[in-house]
């Protein structure tokens, strides 16, 4: 019996809370400003028109396809002066650094890596001006690995 009475009291409390909430919500809506009037849309005849006539915008830029060797060249040529300096070549050789560990012990001095890179750079620098142009840089391209046929048919 006490559960029934307790349930009735809780139901009355919830109904009372609902009524107060409902009245408070109505008071808030009553004090709200009226909705703003929508501005009238102009008719299509009232809209301004522009006659482009002989007006012409700038021409779009020309996109050129780079060859594979040019793409490789520009990965090294950081300042885009079409020359690769020794510092530019050394700064992008981190992958080669990982490949230089001949004995696989994960120990490689920076000096060993720099010597190998400088030797490669000097080998490619045919005229000895300490810069690589496109032709000299092409000498540094990695050799393509031979692929074994997947099956002998």
pLDDT in tens, 103-112: 666 677 777 7
pLDDT at 31: 65
Per CATH, domain 68-138 is 1.10.238.10: yes
pLDDT at 117: 79
pLDDT at 13: 92
132 pLDDT higher than 70: yes
Could you tell me the pLDDT band of residue 58, with boundaries at 50, 70 and 90? confident
pLDDT at 97: 61
- As a whole number, mean pLDDT of residues 111-132 equals 84
* 130 Cβ contact list (under 8 Å, min separation 6): 85, 86
Computed over its alpha carbons, how large is the radius of gyration of the chain?
A: 39
- As a whole number, mean pLDDT of residues 20-48 equals 70
Mean pLDDT value across the chain: 78
Burial of 73 (0-12, 13-18, 19+ CB in 10 A): buried
pLDDT at 7: 92
Q: Strand (E) positions, 7-152?
A: 84-85, 131-132
> Given CA atoms 26, 32, 34, 39 in this order, what sign does their dihedral have?
negative
pLDDT at 90: 77
Spatial separation of the C-alpha atoms in residues 120 and 116, rounded to whole Å:
6
Domain-by-domain residue ranges, the chain?
68-138
Q: Give 68-81 pLDDT, tens digit per residue.
A: 888 888 888 888 89
- As a whole number, mean pLDDT of residues 11-16 equals 90
């Amino acid at each position: 019996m006490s559960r029934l009475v307790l349930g009735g009291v809780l139901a009355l409390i919830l109904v009372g809370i609902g009524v107060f909430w409902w009245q408070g919500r109505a008071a808030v809506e009553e004090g709200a400003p009226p909705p703003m009037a929508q501005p009238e849309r102009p008719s299509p005849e009232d809209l301004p028109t522009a006659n482009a006539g002989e007006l012409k915008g700038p021409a779009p830029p020309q996109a050129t396809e780079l060859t594979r060797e040019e793409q490789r060249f520009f990965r090294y040529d950081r300042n885009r002066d079409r020359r690769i300096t020794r510092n530019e070549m050394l700064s992008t050789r981190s992958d080669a650094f990982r490949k230089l560990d001949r004995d696989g012990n994960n120990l490689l001095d920076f000096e060993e890596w720099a010597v190998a890179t400088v030797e490669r750079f000097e080998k490619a620098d045919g005229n000895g001006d300490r810069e690589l142009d496109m032709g000299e840089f092409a000498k540094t391209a990695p050799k393509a690995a031979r692929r074994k046929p997947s099956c002998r048919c």
